């Protein structure tokens, strides 16, 4: 029986690929001498498995010890006396196939070990084996008894519980037969195959939810969205900045023109005839200076837009053109109002002169002079009123001309700014197209790399899944395959 292959060749190849350690343990169990029955101790970390096995080896050197549960005829599950059985240990106990002895170590270190033992026994009988027994032991007391080597050693050894556990192990070993061994090995084979199938299914699930693939797909979606939306977002951002600059410059033009209009009204109100005649030249200088100031401000503001990080372009704006040339104001039309003012001035002058010369009429010698004096005073009054009326009319005429001229100048300045904004938009849009074209090449290269990597991963995943499905198919009926191999 020791020469029999434990598994069919194709099943063994699959298990070797997925669980080589489990297969090695099963093969060692098959080639072990049937007359040699081994014991295996297992349990959670820190319960003293190595120490207990060492003491058992010294007390019963005839026992054979297995390195894996599959090779063992008797399985000893060791727990700690510090606390009741944990969930992981309980799950391990439920998965054991074959004779199991439950032992609780370190009873010397815990005064309430009896309560813990009662609780452990209750848990085992309720959830694992209704006939379960629990052997309380102390590897430390066994070592102490061995070191005493006097009359007290037997009593200390008796308190350790080691002999009772050895008697139970020996009883289980005596009850082992060839059929029991074959049954145990068949159960071990079934458990190994079941565990292998679970590993294959876990590998298939991991392949299907490949985190690298998910990360690559997320990156591809982000890169694709960036490629499609980068140009539109950049142009929209540029237009928003240009609209903001246009609004700021238009508002600045309005403020400057209003200030010039206010200064013009004040200057005209104080102007005499000579200043009024020279005012058109003065207004031309004001508009020229205003045009230069506005264009410089517009260029500075648009350069700020061009200096944004995502653009970083050098603007080449057209040279400034000459300022708006003003047409001289048309001569004021002298209408009926001026003639009426002359007549009104003459009449008023005659009346005033008569009041002035009336005292002279009291003197006969000077009475003859009253007529020319009255005429002279009347003429002067008529001239002065007509001249004053004409100066007021000239001021109003120049004031209206200046207001109309500033309105025209404002429209001209807004047109100049609009032309600069349009030229800036054209240059910066071309710059953005150039930038996005270069970025598109880089993004397309990255997309190609991502697609290639995704195809490579998909091909490898398909290969892995195919291998997993084939291995699962081989393990679908392992017991039947085993029967055919042995038959």
Contact 154, 48 (CB under 8 A): no
Per-residue model confidence (pLDDT) at position 321: 59
Q: Which helix (H) or strand (E) holds 103?
A: strand 100-105
Pick the residue with more confidence: 193 or 359? 193
Share of the chain above pLDDT 70, in %: 70
Per-residue model confidence (pLDDT) at position 311: 59
**pLDDT grade for 276, boundaries at 50, 70 and 90:** confident
- The answer to whether residue 322 scores a pLDDT higher than 80 is no
Is 312 strand, coil or helix? coil
- Per-residue pLDDT of 333-383, as tens digits, reads 556 665 665 666 666 666 666 666 666 566 665 556 666 766 677 777 767
| CA 377 to chain CA centroid, nearest Å | 95
Question: For the residues 111-132, what does the mean pLDDT come to?
Answer: 87
Pick the residue with more confidence: 187 or 129? 129
Give Cα separations from 100 to 30, 40, 75, 124, 186 (angstroms). 20, 10, 5, 11, 17
Identify which of 418, 151, 145 has the alpha carbon closest to the alpha carbon of residue 295: 418
Integer Cα distance of 279 and 328 in angstroms: 10
Q: Residue ranges of the alpha helices (H) in 107-152? A: 113-127, 139-148
CB < 8 Å & 24+ apart, contacts of 297-302: 297/249, 297/252, 298/249, 298/416, 298/417, 298/420, 298/421, 299/420, 301/245, 301/248, 301/249, 302/242, 302/245, 302/420, 302/421, 302/424
Question: For the residues 205-228, what does the mean pLDDT come to?
Answer: 74
Listed range (92-101, 166-175, 249-258, 393-402) with the worst mean pLDDT: 92-101
Per-residue model confidence (pLDDT) at position 339: 62
Give Cα separations from 449 to 62, 223, 398, 441, 455 (angstroms). 66, 12, 75, 12, 10
Question: For the residues 7-19, what does the mean pLDDT come to?
Answer: 75
Per-residue model confidence (pLDDT) at position 255: 92
Q: Residue ranges of the alpha helices (H) in 19-84? A: 20-31, 49-59
Contact 252, 301 (CB under 8 A): no
Identify which of 27, 103, 105, 41 has the alpha carbon closest to the alpha carbon of residue 72: 41
Strands (E), 235-361: none
- Per-residue pLDDT of 425-437, as tens digits, reads 888 888 777 777 7
Length of the chain: 487
Q: Which helix (H) or strand (E) holds 38?
A: strand 38-42
DSSP calls for 186-205? HHHHHHHHHHHHHHHHHHHH
- The answer to whether residue 34 scores a pLDDT higher than 50 is no
Q: Which two tokens stand for residue 338?
A: 């001026």
- The answer to whether residue 266 scores a pLDDT higher than 70 is yes
Listed range (36-40, 243-247, 310-314, 456-460) with the worst mean pLDDT: 310-314
Q: Tokens 């039309």 sit at which residue?
A: 333
Pick the residue with more confidence: 473 or 77? 77
Question: For the residues 47-71, what does the mean pLDDT come to?
Answer: 79
Share of the chain above pLDDT 90, in %: 2
Give Cα separations from 460 to 199, 204, 205, 277 (angstroms). 18, 12, 14, 94
pTM value is 0.45
Question: For the residues 202-221, what does the mean pLDDT come to?
Answer: 76
Integer Cα distance of 70 and 273 in angstroms: 126
Domains with residue ranges and CATH for the chain:
9-208+476-486 (3.40.50.300), 213-335+396-472 (no CATH)
**pLDDT grade for 251, boundaries at 50, 70 and 90:** very high
Per-residue model confidence (pLDDT) at position 28: 62
Question: For the residues 435-442, what does the mean pLDDT come to?
Answer: 74
Identify which of 154, 165, 133 has the alpha carbon closest to the alpha carbon of residue 57: 165
Question: For the residues 220-248, what does the mean pLDDT come to?
Answer: 77
| 180-194, 211-225, 307-321, range with greatest mean pLDDT | 211-225
Identify which of 248, 240, 249 has the alpha carbon closest to the alpha carbon of residue 415: 249
The 8-class DSSP code of residue 333 comes to P
Strand 38-42: give its sheet, edge to edge.
64-65, 38-42, 72-80, 100-105, 134-136
Per-residue model confidence (pLDDT) at position 92: 74
Is 74 strand, coil or helix? strand
- Per-residue pLDDT of 369-410, as tens digits, reads 666 766 677 777 767 766 776 677 777 877 888 888 888 888
Per-residue model confidence (pLDDT) at position 36: 52
Strands (E), 282-334: none
Contact 23, 68 (CB under 8 A): no
**pLDDT grade for 236, boundaries at 50, 70 and 90:** confident
Question: For the residues 287-309, what does the mean pLDDT come to?
Answer: 83
Question: For the residues 413-429, what does the mean pLDDT come to?
Answer: 85
Cα angle for residues 427, 444, 314 (degrees, 5° grid):
20
Is 323 strand, coil or helix? coil
């Amino acid at each position: 029986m020791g020469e029999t292959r434990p598994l069919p060749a194709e099943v063994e190849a699959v298990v070797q690929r997925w669980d080589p350690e489990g297969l090695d343990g099963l093969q060692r169990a098959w080639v072990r001498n049937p007359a040699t029955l081994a014991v295996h101790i297992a349990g959670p970390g820190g319960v003293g498995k190595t120490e207990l096995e060492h003491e058992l080896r010294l007390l019963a050197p005839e026992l054979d010890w297995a390195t894996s549960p599959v090779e063992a005829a008797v399985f000893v599950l060791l727990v700690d006396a510090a606390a009741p059985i944990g969930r992981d240990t309980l799950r391990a106990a439920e998965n054991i196939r074959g004779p199991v002895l439950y032992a609780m170590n370190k009873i010397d270190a815990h005064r309430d070990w009896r309560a813990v033992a009662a609780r452990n026994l209750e848990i085992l009988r309720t959830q694992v084996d209704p006939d379960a027994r629990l052997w309380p032991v102390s590897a430390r007391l066994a070592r102490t008894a061995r070191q005493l080597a006097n009359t007290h050693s037997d009593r200390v050894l008796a308190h350790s519980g080691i002999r009772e556990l050895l008697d139970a192990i020996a009883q289980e070993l005596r009850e082992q037969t060839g059929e029991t061994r074959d049954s145990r090995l068949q159960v071990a084979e079934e458990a190994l195959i079941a565990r292998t199938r679970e590993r294959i299914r876990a590998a298939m699930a991991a392949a299907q939810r490949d985190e690298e693939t998910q990360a690559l797909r997320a990156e591809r979606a982000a890169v694709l969205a960036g490629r499609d939306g980068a140009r539109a977002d950049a142009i929209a951002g540029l237009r928003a900045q240009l609209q903001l600059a246009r609004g700021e410059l238009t508002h600045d033009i309005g403020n400057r023109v209003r200030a010039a209009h206010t200064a013009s009204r004040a200057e005209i109100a104080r102007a005499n005839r000579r200043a009024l005649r020279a005012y058109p030249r003065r207004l031309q200088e004001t508009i020229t200076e205003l045009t230069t100031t506005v264009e410089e401000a517009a260029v500075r503001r648009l350069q700020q837009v061009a200096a944004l990080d995502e653009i970083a372009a050098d603007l080449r704006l057209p040279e400034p053109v000459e300022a708006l040339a003003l047409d001289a104001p048309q001569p004021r039309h002298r209408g009926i109002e001026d003639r009426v003012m002359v007549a009104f001035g003459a009449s008023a002058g005659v009346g005033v002169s008569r009041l002035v010369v009336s005292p002279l009429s009291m003197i006969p010698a000077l009475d003859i002079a009253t007529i020319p004096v009255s005429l002279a005073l009347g003429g002067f009054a008529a001239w002065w009123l007509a001249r004053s009326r004409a100066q007021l009319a000239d001021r109003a005429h120049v004031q209206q001309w200046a207001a109309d001229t500033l309105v025209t100048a404002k429209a001209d300045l807004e047109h100049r700014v609009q032309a600069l904004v349009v030229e800036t938009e054209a240059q910066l849009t071309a710059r953005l197209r150039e930038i996005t074209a270069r970025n598109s090449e880089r993004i397309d290269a990255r997309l190609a790399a991502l697609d290639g990597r995704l195809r490579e991963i998909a091909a490898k995943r398909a290969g892995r899944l195919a291998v997993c499905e084939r291995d699962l198919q081989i393990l679908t009926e392992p017991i039947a395959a085993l029967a055919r191999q042995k038959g």
